[in-house]
Amino acid sequence: MKLKKFFKSIIIGIVTGFVNGFFGSGGGTVAVPAMVMLLGLDEHRAHATAISVILPLTIISVLFYINRDYMNWDITLKVILGGVIGGYLGAKLMNICPENVLRRLFAVFMIVAAARMIWGN
């Protein structure tokens, strides 16, 4: 049983890393549902684990993008500042949000994001 979970975790990591590297973000949209459905994590643990997983994946992608001179540092630094504030507030809110509400909010977020990407603003 542990070996099966190990391989599921590795596959989730590969797919999450690919999505994060290829699209520049979005690994969490793969990791969270996969951890819930395939590994049996509850929503809160899946979201927290996904954040921890995304950090090293993002570092690898950022190093590649820096090497290719794709980074816009002026915008990056400003977004980081806002992101730190938003990340803190989001983590605090997730901590008090019931699991069923968190699941639904995440689903709505993914649907809206997908619709905007398909049909534009």
Full pLDDT tens readout for the chain, 121 residues:
689 999 999 999 999 989 888 887 778 889 999 999 999 999 999 999 999 998 898 888 889 889 999 999 999 999 999 999 999 999 999 989 999 999 999 899 889 988 988 998 6
Structure pTM?
A: 0.76
Distance between CA atoms of 49 and 51, rounded to whole angstroms? 5
Distance between CA atoms of 117 and 121, rounded to whole angstroms? 8
Query: What is the number of structural domains in the chain?
Result: 1
pLDDT of 101:
94
Q: What domain range includes position 21?
A: 2-119
Amino acid sitting at position 31: A
